Amino acid sequence: MSAKTLSELRDQVRGEVVAPDDADYEDARRVHNGMIDRRPAVVVRVMNAGDAMAVVRYAREGGLEVAIRGGGHSGPGFGTCDGGVVVDFSRMRSVRVDPTAKTARADGGVTWGDFNAATHAFGLATTGGVISTTGIAGLTLGGGIGYLTRGYGLSLDNLVSADVVTAEGQMLVASEDENADLFWAIRGGGGNFGVCTSFEYRLHPVEDVYWGPMFYEIKETENVLRFYRDFIRNAPEEMGAFPAFQIAPPLPFIPEDRHGDMFAAIVACWSGSPDEGEERFRPFHEVAEVKAEFVGRVPYPAINAAFDGLFPKGIRQYWKGNFVKELSDDAIAAHIEHGPKAPTVSSTMHLYPINGACHRVAPDATAFGHRDANFAMVVVSAWDNPADDSANMQWVRDYSAAMAPYSEAGGYINFMDSDDTNRVQENYGNNYARLVEVKRKYDPGNLFTVNQNIVP
């Protein structure tokens, strides 16, 4: 890239243009996963849709790859690239709530922490992720699984419209009424179709919830998982609860002599009346003795920040995800073998329930390919020391491979790592052919290639 071109870009955009010789470059090139060490030619911290349009045109004309960064949480580091252009939304974090229409319009760089804080002021929320620093953009475009999924569907089921800058550098509105094919594709197809500068969501009345993690002795894992699979099948949809493996962090609610021990856990969220919460949580106390817990009534935004400390920016990470129809006894046996070997306090398996509202959306109504699965399983390892890379990655690989016989062929694009690109077609199942068609229409040259790529 010539200096002249870069200076032209600087003239065209309102946001900061950060190049390798700028002081801020080191920070600008980094994403959440500390394993990712890429060096883009330029990072543009866009300030408005016009900036995004200019950056896309600049990349296309220069033959440069485009990476789009919302919250920067992609496991494989799709929010940065080597030698290309990063459209970085970290300066666009505004949310406007319409309490009458029960909708919110949010910029492309909004995190779930930003979003939940803004909507909570009106007693409203929508399905988002379980960590507050994750971006709404990537999470929604790939699916969006969290505490409210059983009641209100995936995040993408709550998307009303999005503003999308196409590979041509044109702004389009994508909704049921405008560019409906594009709207279909972005609801599951990730960042393949364009740069989304803003998102409009449907909101629901959610204020305080009854929430918390409950820890069981690891020998109770079989009991807990068998109980859970039956319980969650018919539980009211206000109940979002997932089982996990968790090394006890040094927190006051856990007896000091148990810090560092491995536990089976259930993390539950009752989003109906908080007054009913204690009663709704009774079955979790009946299945086995709860050795430590931190449960009670809390404002909804607080629960999405509760585990943030386990995933600070820069921690090294490796991810795998599968969809599961039935949690069979054999699958439970595989969990019992692999889950307790989680190598660090930030490494875990979560089994998120996605029955309920998610199943009421037709399999071909959005690009998301797994409306018949009951669970989305994630195995993630996170650690600090590069010397521990291979041990941590191996745990994830072994666990995921052991679960493969009990899982669907495709997984969740948001829990896939860079060595999962061969699974893209399976991830979309019967929706894949249509995704290719829409990709050919909106991005025939595959400008947006830094993602779980749909090849036009």
Ligand X SMILES: Cc1cc2nc3c(=O)[nH]c(=O)nc-3n(C[C@H](O)[C@H](O)[C@H](O)COP(=O)(O)OP(=O)(O)OC[C@H]3O[C@@H](n4cnc5c(N)ncnc54)[C@H](O)[C@@H]3O)c2cc1C
Distance CA 423, CA 415 (A): 12
CA atoms within 13 A on the CB side of 99: 9
Asked if 144 is part of the footprint of ligand X (rule: CB under 6 A), the reply reads yes
Residue nearest to ligand X (CB): 138
Asked if 311 is part of the footprint of ligand X (rule: CB under 6 A), the reply reads yes
The values of phi and psi at residue 143, to 5°, are 160, -85
Q: 141: which 2 tokens?
A: 């475009």
Cα–Cα–Cα angle for 13, 63, 21, rounded to 5 degrees: 55
Q: From residue 6 to residue 25, what is the string marking binding to ligand X with x (rule CB under 6 A)?
A: --------------------
Asked if 411 is part of the footprint of ligand X (rule: CB under 6 A), the reply reads no
Q: Which stretch binds ligand X (CB under 6 A): 69-77, 228-236, 243-251, 428-436?
A: 69-77
CB of 264 to ligand X, least distance (A): 20
CB of 279 to ligand X, least distance (A): 26
Cα–Cα–Cα angle for 442, 446, 447, rounded to 5 degrees: 90
Asked if 339 is part of the footprint of ligand X (rule: CB under 6 A), the reply reads no
Instruction: Rank residues 47 and 218 by Cβ distance to ligand X and give the closer one.
Output: 47
Q: Which stretch binds ligand X (CB under 6 A): 54-62, 132-140, 170-178, 222-230?
A: 132-140
Strands 85-88 and 66-69: parallel
Closest to 197 measured CA to CA, from 156, 136, 144: 136
Among 78, 242, 368, 375, binds ligand X (CB under 6 A): 78
CB of 415 to ligand X, least distance (A): 6
Asked if 195 is part of the footprint of ligand X (rule: CB under 6 A), the reply reads yes
Q: 422: which 2 tokens?
A: 């061969």
Asked if 353 is part of the footprint of ligand X (rule: CB under 6 A), the reply reads no
Greatest CA separation for the chain: 69
Instruction: Rank residues 46 and 287 by Cβ distance to ligand X and give the closer one.
Output: 46
- Say whether 384 sits in a helix, a strand or coil: coil
Distance CA 138, CA 414 (A): 8
Cα–Cα–Cα angle for 432, 438, 439, rounded to 5 degrees: 85
* List of residues contacting ligand X (CB under 6 A): 31-32, 68-75, 78-79, 89, 108, 129-131, 134-135, 137-139, 141-146, 190-191, 195-196, 311, 414, 451
